[in-house]
Amino acid sequence: MRSTQDLSTRPAASVAEPQQDLRVPNVPPCRGIPASLPLHLNCSWTLVGHVVYAGCQWGMLVVLAKLCTPAAVGEFTLGMAITAPVFLFSTLQLRAVLVTDMRDLYTFGEYVAARITGIVAALLFVVIIAAGSAYPWSTRLVILLTGISKACESLSDIYHARLQKHERMDRIAVSLVAKGILSLALMSLLLAATSDVVWGVMGIVLASVTVTVCYDCNLGTWGLSGLRSAGMLRLSRPHPVAISRVATLIRSSLLLGVVLLLSTLIGNVPRYFVEYDLGREALGKFAAVAYIAGAANTVITALAQAATPQLAWRYMARQWRGFTILLLKFAALAALAGLAGIAISAIAGRQILTILYRREYADQAGLLNWVMGAGLATFVGTIMCFGVTAVRRFHIQLPLYAAVVAANAAACLLLIPRYGLRGAGIGMLAGGIVQILGATWIVAWAVRSAVHEPPAQSALQSVLQPEEFV
């Protein structure tokens, strides 16, 4: 529970805006929580951490493209495309729930227990997929190893959520930098020695396990509780009541997992259609080009994560003007980044693809233009979707993401057979436009509804009812 002193560091409501007491009586302050960093420092740390991490992820794809064939790149991409939706569903959006749970209605140990339950279920599902598929053994191993890496990322994510809630993005940045550099180094060494994508993915797994166990679950959360460390091994053994609360948390978050599953399908649907219609080599080329916008979106997502606690507090405190201005500032920043990407792609697209990958990728400069156009829509849509998260309108994201996936899939189904990889880029753009329109409408509707509600029935009440997410 945040102390009264911690609450005082939040932005105060303006004179013209209604005020309400956000303190919870008769609850002792939580000891050992370090001071939150200002928003500009959190954004700076977030930018550094995710730029380095995205750069290392991109570097791994570059190493694969240079040391292996496009088919091997496609094999690696296929493993990511299969495991990512499974593990994103298993997270149940618990990070968003924890970060916006300003009343600490569930303990951190209960969030961790719910996340571990999801990880175990996801790993079993990935094993079933790999064992029952008709892919070659090398592809099956890539799928299994990628699943283990995703399991580590999922566990790290819930610890990052706690740091994000306390606005200590510096510690998350340290974790991302360490994991990115170590993954790139180990993968490069093993690929250089073997030229085998399986060993390359093994390097990623080793890096993920090391950083998750040694930092995220221990040193990274140092001081966030009264204990010496907040590592998972120090969590007390759950009693029957705690287990029932974990079950309640999982049950009430299942629909949020479906929402997150749909969100990851937005990026993966074009890959499924490309692999089906054009083959694995074409998938490798498409993935290499699309990752340029994907890496940039990772940075946009990181900045939005840094702003989410501030947005949630402004909304809960009924500071409508401050909430709207902050959200629009980040949306404008995302739009500027997208416009810069389009300009760079139009001027030097062929040269960029030749330098980053090989000469055989240079003929995809037209695809890069469409991908960067889709990136502009995706960047702004990502910011607006974090606005939806900040106002805790979780369940309404289900029809939103379903519409985005449907628009993406319909465009890919119609255009890829006719226009090839460019059709996939157009499909991404169609999905991004639907995402912007839908998320903006949801945020505007939530704010407009809350303005006309009395304080007792506004966003604060939604925080007090975790089993019935709005």
- Averaged pLDDT of the chain: 78
Domains of the chain, by residue range, sit at 36-463
The whole-number average pLDDT for the span 41-53 is: 83
pLDDT above 90 as % of the chain: 20
Quick one: pLDDT at residue 169?
82
Task: Assign 31 a pLDDT band (cuts: 50, 70, 90).
Answer: very low
CA dist 366 and 429 (Å) reads 14
Quick one: pLDDT at residue 340?
92
pLDDT at 225 over 60: no
Q: Pick the residue with more confidence: 220 or 106?
A: 106
Top mean-pLDDT range of 153-157, 273-277, 455-459, 463-467 = 153-157
Judge whether 75 and 64 are in contact, CB under 8 Å: no
CA dist 36 and 165 (Å) reads 9
Judge whether 58 and 66 are in contact, CB under 8 Å: no
Which of 25-39, 42-56, 177-191 is predicted least confidently?
Answer: 25-39
CA dist 304 and 297 (Å) reads 10
- The rounded radius of gyration (Å) of the Cα atoms in the chain is 22
Top mean-pLDDT range of 11-25, 255-269, 345-359 = 345-359
Task: Assign 15 a pLDDT band (cuts: 50, 70, 90).
Answer: very low
Which of 234-238, 289-293, 302-306, 356-360 is predicted least confidently?
Answer: 234-238
Tokens at 100, concatenated: 């916006």
| Alpha-helix residue ranges (DSSP H) falling in 212-279 | 240-278
The whole-number average pLDDT for the span 311-331 is: 86
Quick one: pLDDT at residue 221?
61
Where residue 40 falls (left for φ over 0; alpha for ψ -120 to 50; beta otherwise) is alpha
Classify the C-alpha dihedral 45-267-116-399 as positive or negative.
positive
Burial of 366 (0-12, 13-18, 19+ CB in 10 A): middle
Which of 99-103, 385-389, 415-419, 437-441 is predicted least confidently?
Answer: 99-103
| DSSP per-residue string spanning 129-177 | HHHHS-S-HHHHHHHHHHHHHHHHHHHHHHHHHHHHHTT-HHHHHHHHH
pLDDT at 448 over 80: yes
Quick one: pLDDT at residue 250?
86
pLDDT at 335 over 90: yes
Tokens at 37, concatenated: 């960093």
Convert the pLDDT of each residue in 284-312 to its tens digit.
788 888 878 887 787 788 778 778 878 88
pLDDT at 27 over 70: no
Judge whether 274 and 70 are in contact, CB under 8 Å: no
Q: Pick the residue with more confidence: 122 or 169?
A: 122
Judge whether 261 and 397 are in contact, CB under 8 Å: no
Where residue 92 falls (left for φ over 0; alpha for ψ -120 to 50; beta otherwise) is left
Q: Pick the residue with more confidence: 216 or 11?
A: 216
The whole-number average pLDDT for the span 107-120 is: 88
pLDDT at 237 over 50: no
Which of 119-128, 296-305, 318-327, 446-455 is predicted least confidently?
Answer: 446-455
CA dist 347 and 366 (Å) reads 11
Helix, strand, coil percentages (3-state) for the chain, rounded to 5, are 80, 0, 20
Q: To 5 degrees, how large is the angle CA 172–CA 105–CA 312?
A: 55
Which of 77-81, 357-361, 446-450, 451-455 is predicted least confidently?
Answer: 451-455
Q: Pick the residue with more confidence: 222 or 319?
A: 319
Q: Pick the residue with more confidence: 36 or 105?
A: 105
Which of 23-37, 117-131, 306-320 is predicted least confidently?
Answer: 23-37
pLDDT above 70 as % of the chain: 83
Q: 197-211 vs 39-67: helix axis angle to the nearest 10?
A: 160
pLDDT at 233 over 80: no
Closest C-alpha among 253, 310, 318, 254 to residue 466: 253
Quick one: pLDDT at residue 20?
38
pLDDT at 24 over 70: no
Q: To 5 degrees, how large is the angle CA 205–CA 76–CA 179?
A: 30
Task: Assign 222 a pLDDT band (cuts: 50, 70, 90).
Answer: low
pLDDT at 234 over 60: no
pLDDT at 141 over 80: yes
Tokens at 328, concatenated: 């629009």
Quick one: pLDDT at residue 26?
36
Kindly report the number of other CB atoms within 10 A of residue 12's CB atom: 11
Judge whether 298 and 172 are in contact, CB under 8 Å: no
**DSSP-derived 3-state class of residue 403:** helix
pLDDT at 186 over 90: yes
pLDDT at 453 over 60: yes
Judge whether 49 and 174 are in contact, CB under 8 Å: yes
Quick one: pLDDT at residue 459?
41
pLDDT at 19 over 80: no
